[in-house]
């Protein structure tokens, strides 16, 4: 489907100056549009927003339901950092997303690595993709979807939405929060953002089940590494650092 471009402008979105906002109508996915723009020279802190996605996707290749009324966006960031640090921006995005959701009220919890739960149900998620040339990081694409007007019914997990809010207000709050947390990461690294994630994450010692492909791991939450990896305490007393995987409820 051909994207219907609504607007492209540099603006102060939610108090976050200097962002290039590309507004679209119905697209397959904002991630695809953002990748195309990134590969043709889009600048740091460009954000692609769509009214609707016809082929939105989440983690593990799952389809992300994307009807009008919710927030669908992908931010293009060009940090001065090696490719090995790209995954840290997943944690940065999760904390920014939690900041934005919390501004509208309710109990906000983070689920590793970057799901946001509102009042016990998944309200938003993050999908991160890096564009690199060898060890040089060219761009990081951060796709975010937030349930506002509607929420999908899923067979394996609870979902929620931000009630009593408009998608425009949520988008502005999200861009402002992402701008603030990205600047913090650029100045200080992951340390302060890691602390903010832990403040909303599971309690130390909470039981966790994690799937890495077909491998099932069970243990207890033992914290987060300085690089954003999850630390899992196993039954035999050993600990294991998890760089990727899915925490199941």
Least confident of 17-26, 55-64, 78-87, 111-120: 55-64
pLDDT single digits (tens) 102-137 = 999 999 999 999 999 999 999 998 999 999 988 789
Strands 16-27 and 136-146: unpaired
207-212 and 5-13 beta bridge pairing: unpaired
Kindly give the pairing relationship between strand 136-146 and strand 239-242.
Answer: unpaired
pLDDT tens digit sequence for 181-230: 999 999 999 999 999 999 999 999 999 999 988 899 999 999 999 999 99
Please give the Cα distance from 238 to 10 (Å, whole number): 50
pLDDT category of residue 18 using cuts at 50, 70 and 90: confident
Position 175 pLDDT exceeds 60: yes
| Residue 197 to residues 8, 96, 114, 137, 226, Cα–Cα distance (Å) | 33, 9, 9, 24, 12
CA dihedral 54, 23, 41, 193 (to 10 degrees): -90
pLDDT digits (tens, 9 = 90+) for 76-98: 999 999 999 999 999 999 999 99
pTM comes to 0.90
């Amino acid at each position: 489907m051909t994207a219907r471009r609504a607007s492209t402008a540099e603006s102060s979105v939610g108090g976050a100056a200097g962002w290039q906002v590309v507004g679209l109508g119905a697209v397959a996915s904002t991630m695809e549009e953002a990748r195309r723009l990134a590969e043709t020279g889009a600048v740091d802190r460009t954000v692609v927003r769509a009214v609707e996605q016809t082929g939105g996707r989440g983690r593990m290749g799952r389809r992300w339901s994307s009807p009008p009324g919710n927030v669908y966006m992908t931010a293009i960031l060009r940090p001065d950092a090696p490719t090995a640090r790209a995954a840290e921006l997943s944690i940065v995005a999760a904390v920014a997303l939690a900041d934005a959701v919390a501004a509208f009220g309710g109990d906000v919890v983070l689920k590793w690595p970057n799901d946001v739960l509102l009042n016990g149900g998944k309200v938003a998620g993050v999908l991160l993709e890096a564009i690199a040339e060898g060890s040089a990081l060219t761009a990081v694409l951060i796709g975010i979807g937030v349930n506002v007007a509607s929420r999908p019914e899923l067979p394996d997990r609870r979902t929620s939405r931000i009630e009593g809010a408009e998608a425009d207000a949520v988008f502005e709050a999200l861009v402002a929060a992402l701008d603030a947390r990205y600047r913090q990461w650029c100045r200080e690294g992951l340390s302060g953002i890691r602390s903010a994630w832990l403040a909303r994450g599971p309690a130390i010692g909470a039981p966790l089940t994690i799937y890495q492909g077909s491998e099932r791991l069970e243990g207890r939450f033992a914290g987060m590494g300085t690089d954003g990896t999850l630390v899992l305490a196993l039954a035999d007393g050993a600990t294991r650092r998890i760089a990727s995987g899915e925490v199941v409820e």
